[in-house]
Structure 1
Amino acid sequence: MSSPPAAPAPRWPLILLRTTATALALLAMVQVMLAGSFLNGTYDSLKDHEGNAMTLATVVVLQLAVAVAVRRPGRGPLWPLWTTALLTVAVIGQIAAGYARSLGVHVTLGVLLVSGILYGLVGAWRLPLPARSAQYEAGPEGSGRLPRPGGPVEVSK
């Protein structure tokens, strides 16, 4: 007796992973610009740097939940979960070092954090999306959908 065929992996966890990884990368770049602005003498940037850090922390925790969804129902790889868990710990340490005004730790961890976020971004976009279901590809009769580029084109006579 054979087991039933496995259902195809859902696409939505990987799409959410790409979305959160992109948002994290953008927030990290803004964070770097705000830190540079503060070091350049615009002291009001420090408050924006703090607010952006809190937003970044929120998104990294959201990405941790998404990484769990990539692994469990999505049947995806394990590395997004471990990478995001490490990023979460690093963000917490980064915020703590910032409030403690431990600039040596804060700047060094910031560089490592941005590198890790960019690593996760590249990895998320390199993961192949599972194929869509045949029902979605074909579409209902008369749906008006065009054929996919490179796919077979039927010509009526």
Structure 2
Amino acid sequence: MSSPPDAPVPRWPLILLRTTATTLALLALLQVMLAGSFLNGTYDSLKDHEGNAMTLATVVVLQLGVAVAVRWPGRGPLWPLWTTLLLTVAVIGQIGAGYARALGVHVTLGVLLVSGILFALVGAWRLPLPVRAGLPGAGPDGSGRLPRPAEPVEVSK
């Protein structure tokens, strides 16, 4: 008796992960710019900094749901779920430190948070997308990538 063939791995969870990770990175960089603008004396930037923080928090919670979809219907790796869970806790702590005006914690956690968001962005884009079902030209391992050469490639000058 043989087992039924595996269903094709869906692409949409990884595409959504890339989308939310890119959105988070852009919001995090905007957050840094708004903080710098406030420190330069544009005090209206503080309200924008607060609003952007709420948007960032919303997107990180959305990404948490996407990370669950990457793992279970998508049969992807577990690291996006743990990473996004850690980022969610860090964003909540960051917002709390900002409202408490604990600037030492707020600035330090902000640097760590932006670094974590950028590392998650790179990781999301490094995950290979599964090949669409029925497309010709899939690689020998089914990844859609070209095979690597067995020996070093010579480049002519």
Return the alpha-carbon distance in structure 1 between the equivalents of residues 2 and 123 of structure 2: 35
SS of corresponding position for 2:93:
helix
Q: Which amino acid aligns with 1:104?
A: G
Structure 1 stretches of at least 4 aligned residues deviating more than 3 Å after TM superposition: none
Comparing 1-10 and 98-107, the one that deviates more: 1-10
Q: Report the TM-score when normalising by structure 2.
A: 0.86
Return the alpha-carbon distance in structure 1 between the equivalents of residues 2 and 99 of structure 2: 59
User: Per-residue deviation at 1:95?
Assistant: 0.1
SS of corresponding position for 2:120:
helix
Return the alpha-carbon distance in structure 1 between the equivalents of residues 94 and 43 of structure 2: 20
- Show the counterpart of 2:50: 50
Q: Report the TM-score when normalising by structure 1.
A: 0.86
Cα deviation, 1:19-53, whole Å, max 9, x if unaligned, reads 00000000000000000000000000000000000
Matched, 1:125 2:120: no
Counterparts of 1:1-150 in structure 2, within 5 Å, are: 1-134=1-134, 137=135
Return the alpha-carbon distance in structure 1 between the equivalents of residues 62 and 46 of structure 2: 24
Cα deviation, 1:101-138, whole Å, max 9, x if unaligned, reads 0000000000000000000000000000000010xx37
Return the alpha-carbon distance in structure 2 between the equivalents of residues 85 and 125 of structure 1: 18
User: Per-residue deviation at 1:5?
Assistant: 1.1
**Gap regions ≥5 residues in structure 2:** 137-145, 147-157
The number of residue pairs the alignment matches comes to 137
Q: Which amino acid aligns with 2:124?
A: A
Q: Which has the higher contact order (CA 8 A, sep 6+)?
A: 1
Q: Which amino acid aligns with 1:98?
A: G
Cα deviation, 1:69-93, whole Å, max 9, x if unaligned, reads 0000000000000000000000000
Percent of aligned positions that are identical: 87
Q: Which amino acid aligns with 1:10?
A: P
User: Per-residue deviation at 1:9?
Assistant: 0.6
